[in-house]
Chain A
Amino acid sequence: DQQVKQNSPSLSVQEGRISILNCDYTNSMFDYFLWYKKYPAEGPTFLISISSIKDKNEDGRFTVFLNKSAKHLSLHIVPSQPGDSAVYFCAARVQLNKFYFGSGTKLNVKP
């Protein structure tokens, strides 16, 4: 059972524009959400997180939005830069710090 879903396998955006990556989840017990960024041949690196008690968290060009009623998470990157081109995974936590990951969205930012 896939409790965390990223339905868009890829996204292409022009440099300077906004990138919006989406994530849906099914388990209402998730209490903490993360976004990871992954470059080829490297492990995922932590990008930004949000607790289930919040609906927005911002860090520079990156903002994560959480809509608990819709069980939906999104990552906004503004403005997008070519160096942002990577695969982005969302992850959601249940007890004992166990995370479930989505299948990833490959972002391509075109110069």
Chain B
Amino acid sequence: EAGVAQSPRYKIIEKRQSVAFWCNPISGHATLYWYQQILGQGPKLLIQFQNNGVVDDSQLPKDRFSAERLKGVDSTLKIQPAKLEDSAVYLCASSFQGAGGYTFGSGTRLTVV
């Protein structure tokens, strides 16, 4: 079974620029999550999708962050404009019908300078 794919692995941008991350979950996993992990902290949920609908985006900074999951498969997370404090690893995870633990991707390490 292929894992959760994320790209790019690393990204360096200047503040106020925009950036997008891509995630392809495990085939058949209806639930997809985006997490932000700042250095020294645990992952924090940004948004949760069930198929292509949003279940929870209460911690997503909606003035600058947006996410979509077209056709209930792949997802993209966008930051526009980026701030220095957005420097973090962005983790995508998926689970089967929202049950049990997640499978995480390797993450995208974003550095905003």
B98 within 8 A of A: yes
Tell whether, in the assembled complex, residue B106 and residue A103 are in contact, meaning their CB atoms are under 8 Å apart: no
Chain A residues with Cβ below 8 Å from B93 are 43
Q: A66 interface residue, CB < 8 Å from B?
A: no
A36 CA to B91 CA in the complex, in Å?
14
24 A-B pairs with CB atoms under 8 Å apart are A4-B42, A6-B42, A41-B106, A43-B6, A43-B91, A43-B93, A43-B104, A43-B106, A44-B43, A45-B104, A46-B101, A46-B103, A49-B100, A89-B42, A89-B43, A96-B56, A98-B45, A98-B56, A99-B102, A101-B35, A101-B42, A103-B40, A103-B42, A104-B41
B: residues with CB less than 8 A from A are 4, 6, 31, 35, 40-45, 48, 55-56, 91, 93, 95, 98-107
Contact between A44 and B55, CB atoms less than 8 A apart: no
* Residues 79-102 of chain A, each 1 if its beta carbon lies under 8 Å from chain B, else 0: 000000000010100001111111
Q: Judge whether B48 and A96 touch: CB under 8 Å.
A: yes
Quick one: closest A residue to B93, CB to CB?
A43
Q: Chain A residues in contact with chain B, CB under 8 A?
A: 4, 6, 9, 32, 34, 36, 41-46, 49, 89, 91, 96-104
Contacts between chains A and B (CB distance < 8 A), count: 57
The 4 closest A-B pairs by CB, nearest first: A43-B104, A101-B42, A97-B98, A46-B101
Q: Shortest beta-carbon distance, A4 to chain B, in Å?
A: 7
Q: Mostly helix, strand, loop or mixed at chain A's interface?
A: strand
Contacts of B105 in A (CB 8 A): 43
Residue of A nearest to B106 (CB): A43
The answer to whether B44 and A98 touch across the interface, beta carbons within 8 angstroms, is no
Give A9 to B41 CA distance when docked, in angstroms.
Answer: 10
Residue among A9, A44, A46, A100 facing the most chain B CB atoms (10 A cut-off)? A44
Determine the residue in chain B with the shortest Cβ distance to A103.
B42
Kindly identify which residue among A9, A43, A45, A101 contacts B44, using a CB–CB cutoff of 8 Å: A101
